[in-house]
Amino acid sequence: MHRIIASLLGLFVAGTSLLAQSIDLQAYGKCTGFATSDQPPPPEAVQLCLGPASQGLPGAQFALAAILIGQSKGAPAPEAIAWLEKAVKTGHPPAAHLLGAIYLRSATPELQARGRELLRFAICSGYPPAQQMLSAIAPDNAQLDCTGFGPFSFDGTWSSSLKWVQPSPTSGATPELRLTISQKDAKVYMHSGQGWAEVKPGKFTVRQADDSMVISVIDSGWDLDGKWVETWTIQLLRLSDKEALLNFVRTVNNLHMPPESTLKVFTSMAEGKAIRSSK
């Protein structure tokens, strides 16, 4: 049984920046490591997983349930099911996959129906082990309805007020950025004493993967210092439908400035939250 659970967990990789700094990342790493190992977990595995699981980390809740299931000799213990249910409530595809597989083996029609819905969620979320069970809920290669599981749309107007993480010699006040995004086309505005002004019109490119978007540009030109090369990178990481973490990085390379000058090359970085005011 333990090897079966380990195989279900094989593609799960736990992140290290999920919750507050009070999370014991060493315990979290050991917990998930026990669950994915081919070796039986040591006696302290359950107790070690209880800490991060109780703090709300779905990966630890999932791992704890997997360990408990691996230790059971019959049907999964109610405690294991309860931890999987907690992880599922956070939108955790691996937990939905494992719990769905368990419910499909139930003799209760209601639990079987819940199991099919959980597997549908895991499959439509793109979780590879769940996709291998497609035939369990969509026989004869029937098309699975995954409506609503497409990439998040960042379309709309996002406003942010940032704080410097690393100011540069020319940084000045922390920037206020406004982004207008439409079908992966982005315009960037910066606030000055005279109001909002568009920055580098028509030059930004946009890339998106699921709930993350990168808006970037590399630009060059000439001034009295000679030729300059400048890059802007703006990263949006979705927190909710109306809120995202925003990271801003600007680099400048003044090709013809003397190497010892602080203005030869420099980088400035700022971060904060962006709020979407409209779609």
Q: Residue 143 — pLDDT band, cuts 50, 70, 90?
A: confident
pLDDT, tens digit, 9 for 90 and up, residues 247-270? 999 999 999 999 999 999 999 999
Q: Which residues of 145-163 are buried (b: 16+ CB within 10 A; e: fewer)?
A: eeeeeeeeebeebbbbebe
What CATH number does domain 2-141 carry, 1.25.40, 1.25.60, 3.40.50, 1.10.540? 1.25.40
d(CA 268, CA 86): 41
Q: Over 70: is that where the pLDDT of 97 sits?
A: yes
Q: Over 90: is that where the pLDDT of 276 sits?
A: yes
Half-sphere exposure of 213 (CA within 13 A, CB side): 25
Q: What does the pLDDT read at residue 279?
A: 67
Q: Rounded mean pLDDT of the chain?
A: 89
pLDDT, tens digit, 9 for 90 and up, residues 147-202? 888 889 999 999 998 999 999 988 888 889 999 999 889 999 999 878 999 999 99
Which residues make up the CATH 2.40.128 domain(s) of the chain? 156-278
Q: Residue 5 — pLDDT band, cuts 50, 70, 90?
A: very low
Structure token pair of residue 162:
């940032």
pLDDT, tens digit, 9 for 90 and up, residues 232-243? 999 999 999 999
Model pTM score:
0.80
d(CA 88, CA 217): 39
Q: Which is it for strands 185-192 and 176-182: parallel, antiparallel or unpaired?
A: antiparallel
Other beta carbons within 10 Å of 124:
18
Whether the Cβ atoms of residue 36 and residue 6 lie closer than 8 Å to each other: yes
Whether the Cβ atoms of residue 53 and residue 60 lie closer than 8 Å to each other: yes
- Which phi and psi (to 5°) does residue 270 adopt? -140, 155
Q: Over 70: is that where the pLDDT of 244 sits?
A: yes
Please name which of 219, 216, 237, 251 lies closest in space to residue 158, comparing C-alpha atoms. Answer: 237
Which residues make up the CATH 1.25.40 domain(s) of the chain? 2-141
If one compares 20 and 229, the residue with the highest pLDDT of the two is 229
Average pLDDT (72-90) is: 93
Give me the percent of the chain exceeding a pLDDT of 90: 74
Which 8-state DSSP code applies to residue 139?
A: G
d(CA 13, CA 182): 33
pLDDT, tens digit, 9 for 90 and up, residues 209-236? 999 999 999 999 999 999 999 999 999 9
Other beta carbons within 10 Å of 209:
8
Q: Residue 65 — pLDDT band, cuts 50, 70, 90?
A: very high
Domain 156-278 is in which class? mainly beta
d(CA 58, CA 84): 8
Coil, helix or strand for 122? helix
d(CA 144, CA 156): 30
